[in-house]
Structures are given as structure tokens and as C-alpha cells.
Chains A and B, each alone.
Chain A
């Protein structure tokens, strides 16, 4: 199928320009002005912005095991509505994605649906228990490009070191969940005056930053790449900034809630279960530090940490709510509203954080840029449109987000993947 996008304003990581774009099946054929060609479909993108399809390094699709909360179909719908053409789903599933059979199954089922490319992230250790390594070779062969025990840090430092070393042979990226559980155990929100005032069991920020430090030190020692998941606090940013000077071969991501919400928002919500997340929301200084780190590009990626939970798991006391927010459908609008409109990032930076950097870090070729010969994974956004987040607009099976009711700017109009329009805002 041939698609011609007319009058596009293309935003690439390093330049923004007006052009037409011709797509033939899975490839971008021409990027130049004034293309005249007989095509199956023409899209007039005047006034809209065209970017390379977003890549989410951190999603939970709850499959297999909790398909009541999200399945590959609903997750795919949510992804393409948010402009994502590639997502990496974490292995904290039941059973755990720690073997090649499940990896293949998820990839195949994802392809059958055919909306978004789903890459399962395999577990580092069997059942994410932190005891024995999984078969990295088999996982890589089955299609994994990254491994993580997401939700758990690999407690045993020797085992973590071995994982980093062993992963190098298969070009697998280790994604680390940084949490020192002996410090966070029992806690449900960030240690802060708000937590003290209401007697809520708290988690100190050093629970994250200590593990960030350990993981970088080990990666540096064995000269392995490393990616740090969902960085949430100023202390971790400090550790990352210092470490980058000596060892630039690790990368990190944050999620939108960490540069928008604080413990004060939890208090204002009356301790709604919808505001519980792990790592927990920080204080103002943390939000500022995360924004600064994104600006300096020492945090290279914005991921969603999309974490669907059923009504029954969120509409409960804050202390008993399951941690996590859905995010696929909100990420771009949140980033645009809170980072671009606030002049923290440019649109080109956003393309880097949401597409180019993830593609580079995960070594996905021909993605992350609008360029002749590249894959035709494209998102078209309307930056003028304003929308209110309401449950009925969300395609995810779960509706757990603290942003319900928020007015956001910027809306995905089209998502195109491999020459197919996989989402159109009606």
C-alpha cells in the first residue's frame, strides 16, 4: 500500500522541515517537497507534525496471566492510540516470560494482531526470583533484545555481574529495576513530610539511588551496557550525572508522572489508590531534577511504565492499592503539555526521548527517524488539540491513572506502522 503524506512538518531528532512523505508498504520511499504520485491513500498533514513512531521501552501488557487487566489486543490499541509503533513488554507475568517458548508466543500473537510491534523483555533470572540465570542465548534467538527482572532488582550482586557479562555475548541489553528492598519494604509512598504528617509508611529515595550506584559500578567494572528503568528522584539523577563522566555506556529512562506529580498531589487526591506507584512519586526537588536530567540528556528516554490494574486493585485504600499507572495513551500529551509547552524540551528532543534514543539503545535499525529507506513507522500529531482525560476515552482495559480529569494539549491523529494506518483519531 502506498501512502502519501502531504504538507507535513517533519520533526526529526536534529531537524524540523516541511516536506511530503511517500510510503510504500513497510518503507519510506521519498522525503521531499512536491511529490506527485498515484497512491492508495493521501493524508493532508497541513498544520500537523509528523514524527518517527514512538518506541516504549517499558510497558506491561499483563499477558500471559492477567488478561482481565490488559491483553495483547487492548494493549495494542492503547499503544497505537498513543503513537507507539514499538513496545517492550516486561516479563512480570504469570507465568513469567523467562523462556523462548513464551517469547515466541508473545511475538507471534502480537504480529497476528498486527497493530504494534511487541518485543517481550525476557527475565534475567528464572521466574524473576534472583536465583538462577535464564537461558540468555535461547531468549535472544527467540527474539528478545533486552532482559529485565522488572519489579525486582537482582539482589545478589555477583549474579547481577554475571548477567551483565553473559548478556554481552548475545548483545542483550540488561534493564535494571533499581530498588534496594531492605530500605523500601513496607513503604507505599516516598518518605517526605506528607508521609510523616499522615503516618504513611514511606520509602526513602536512597532505596533507588543506592541501587543505581551499584548497578552502574558493576556495569562499569565489566564494561557492559546497562539501562536503568523508571528513574524517579533527584538523588539518582545526581549519581547518574557523576557516573556519566567516567562511564557513558549506560542509559536510563523516566516516566511522565515523575516529571509532573509529587507527594502533594497524593495528599490533594485524599490518598486515592490511583496515585500509588513504584518507584513512588517524589517531591518538587525530584520533579525539577528529572526535568533537568531530560534537558541535559543524561536521562535519554521517556518510557510509559504502562501498568494496568483492575478497578478492584486500585479502588482500595492507598496503602493497599497495587502500584502503577496506565500510560500508553497519555505519554505524548503529557510530554507535550508539561515539557514542550513549559519549554523544558523541544519537539526534536521529544522525538529523541520517545523514538530515536530507544531505537539506538535497543539497536533497532531503520527506526527513530523519518528518512528515505527507513521503516514507515510514523506518527502524526495535532498540537493544537486539547482533550480531557476521561475513562471512556481510554482504550486500555484498565483505567488506573492519576491524570483522570486533566486537560492536555496535543493529540495523536494518525499512527502508521509498516505502511498501514493502525490508528486514526475519529
Chain B
């Protein structure tokens, strides 16, 4: 895959449309391989990928692990429990320590926003962001976009709506940056208390009423409502949230026909989405999971096989 020059995948805000298209193109090839009987390719043989998850994750970690294994890389999973580490300094110490094994790629999930740009100074290896705080979750957004492209046939000039806890969502931020690169317009919708300050400056339209926001949209991305955040002051009750912001068949009618609904999972049924939509969502969710694997294989492949001399970008 000629022309790939980026060493790290840290944020979609940094990626160009061309780079995203290259990732998609590569992912398409890997999807095809996944259908074969022998699903493994030797592309990353002899390379070491370390999955370093400072925050717990099942889906993303499994997806990355399998992606690396399918590419024949040696994979090490490391999930230091945050309690055993005295936070901050130790993130750097951990990286420095693991650096001694000369890994090629770190896949990192971290509870802190926007630290990976600093962290990359401490390693020779590439860093792939598997979700950093409330900042970005680039592979999730890429798989959402890839799924959208597959179903809609395009990523251009779509109306995309993201609903829920925008304030705390790295998925929302990455999707906004990603879809906007393809001239799609993005709307966000949620209670006032969960929309970040001056968020219109992101180039998005902000709505506080789902029935209004959903009009004529092509894609809806529903975010998970974290029940544990309720004890803070964001909204008084699930009941009230459901009434205003839950996606149900009635509200969905206002969207375009065949509107695509996605969710990064895990879903709180009957909170953010009515369980009567289960049937409609299930095939998409499975497709998202499958695409997630292909996207992560593509990224590992592009980063892992680029010539060392190209490694100066970023």
C-alpha cells in the first residue's frame, strides 16, 4: 500500500480524507480475507503489537487483538489496573519499560484526554489510539464511517446525527471530525447539560430536541448513556431522559427512509434506544463489529509495514 506516511493514529482531527480512504481501501481487502477458510496473512510476522489498556475494555481490545493475530503479529495484552499504578507518571514509566522489548506498535486506551501526543515522544514504536479520555476514539469512528459507506454507498453529503452524552464522548468527537472530512453535515443532540461549551464552533448544529434533530437525517449514531454519571448533575432521571432523547419508532419516522442507526455499544435498551428497534439494529451492530476488525487490521497493516524511512510524519 504505497503512499502511507503516518506513524501514529492518534486523532481523526489530524487525518486527511485521502488517508481515511486509504484505510478503507485496505480494510476492504481484509474483509475479503476474513471470508476465506485460512484467515491469517503473514504481513506482520515478526512484529510485536502491545495492547496497553489503562482503562478496561472488552470489545475494542478483543478486536485489536484478533486483528493483530490475523496479521501474524506477536501480541501482548497488558492491562495495568489503574489502582496498582499511581496514575500519571506511571503511564510514561510503563511505556518506557515496555519499550525495552522493542515493540513495533502500541495500541493504547487511556482515561486521559489528549495525552498521546506527548506520550509518543517516549517510544520508538507507533501509537494507535484505542480511545483516550473524552478526546477521540478514531478506530470506532472509522468503523462507523466504513459501515455507513457500505450501506449508503457514499460518505458524501450525508446528514449525520449523534445523540446522547456528547460532553463525555470520544466517539462523538472522532465521528464529527471524520464525517466532516467528507462534506457530510453533523448534528448533535442531547440535554443542554451534556453538550460541550461553544460546540457549534466544531461546525456542528446543536439540537436539544430529538424529534426536531432527527428530521431528514441519513445516519443516527446513538451514544451510550452512562448511568453512573447520573449521580452528578447532568439530568435528573432516566425516565426524563427517555422521554426526551430515546430513539423510538415514532421519532425514527421523521428521519429519511432507510435511515442507518448505529451504536458503539454496549446498548442500554429502552434508555437510549427503544427495544422495539432491536431487530433493525442487530444486523448493523454485527456489521459494525466485523468492520471494526477489518479497520483495525488495515491500520495495523498500514502502520506496521511502512518503510522505516517514511516514519517522520507526526
Contacts and interface: CB of A to CB of B under 8 A. Distances in A.
Interface in B190-216: 196-199, 201-202
Contacts of A317: 88, 91, 112, 115, 118
Interface string A227-239: 0000000000000
Interface centre among A195, A198, A200, A319 (most CB of B within 10 A): A198
A89 interface: no
Question: By DSSP majority rule, is chain A's interface helix, strand, loop, or mixed?
Answer: loop
A199 B133 contact: yes
B134 A199 contact: yes
B114 A316 contact: no
A198 B118 contact: no
Contacts of A202: 197
Interface in A165-214: 191-193, 195-202, 204
Given A196-B198, A198-B114, A315-B92, 17 more contacts: A195-B197, A196-B196, A197-B202, A198-B113, A198-B134, A199-B133, A199-B134, A199-B135, A199-B173, A200-B114, A200-B133, A201-B134, A271-B115, A316-B91, A317-B91, A319-B113, A320-B88
B21 interface: no
Interface in B80-132: 87-89, 91-92, 112-115, 117-118
Contacts of A195: 196-197
Given A199-B133, A312-B89, A315-B92, A193 B170 contact: no
A196 B134 CA distance: 9
A211 B170 CA distance: 33
A30 B170 CA distance: 68
A318 interface: yes
B133 A319 contact: yes
A129 to B, nearest CB: 25
B229 to A, nearest CB: 12
Interface string A377-402: 00000000000000000000000000
A200 to B, nearest CB: 5
A193 B198 contact: yes
Contacts of B170: 199
Interface in A101-132: none
Contacts of A318: 112-115, 118
A270 B120 CA distance: 11
Contacts, number: 78
Contacts of B113: 198-200, 271, 318-319
A315 B117 contact: no
B141 to A, nearest CB: 14
Contacts of B91: 316-317
A320 B87 contact: yes
Interface of A: 191-193, 195-202, 204, 270-272, 312, 315-321
B168 interface: yes
B262 to A, nearest CB: 20
Contact of B117 (A199, A270, A320): A270
25 contacts: A191-B197, A193-B202, A196-B196, A196-B197, A197-B13, A197-B201, A198-B173, A199-B114, A199-B133, A199-B136, A199-B169, A199-B196, A200-B135, A204-B197, A270-B117, A270-B118, A312-B89, A315-B89, A315-B92, A316-B87, A316-B88, A316-B91, A317-B112, A320-B88, A321-B88
Contacts of A192: 197-198
B120 to A, nearest CB: 9
A198 B197 CA distance: 12
Contacts of B89: 312, 315-316
Interface in B146-197: 168-170, 173, 196-197
Interface string B48-80: 000000000000000000000000000000000
Contact of B202 (A191, A196, A270, A321): A196
B112 A320 contact: yes
A193 B173 contact: no
A200 B118 contact: no
Contacts of A315: 89, 92
A192 B87 CA distance: 26
B136 to A, nearest CB: 8
Contact of A197 (B118, B168, B173): B173
Nearest to A190: B197
Contacts of B114: 198-200, 270-271, 318
A204 B197 CA distance: 9
Contacts of A197: 13, 173, 201-202
Nearest to A267: B114
A193 B112 contact: no
A5 B87 CA distance: 54
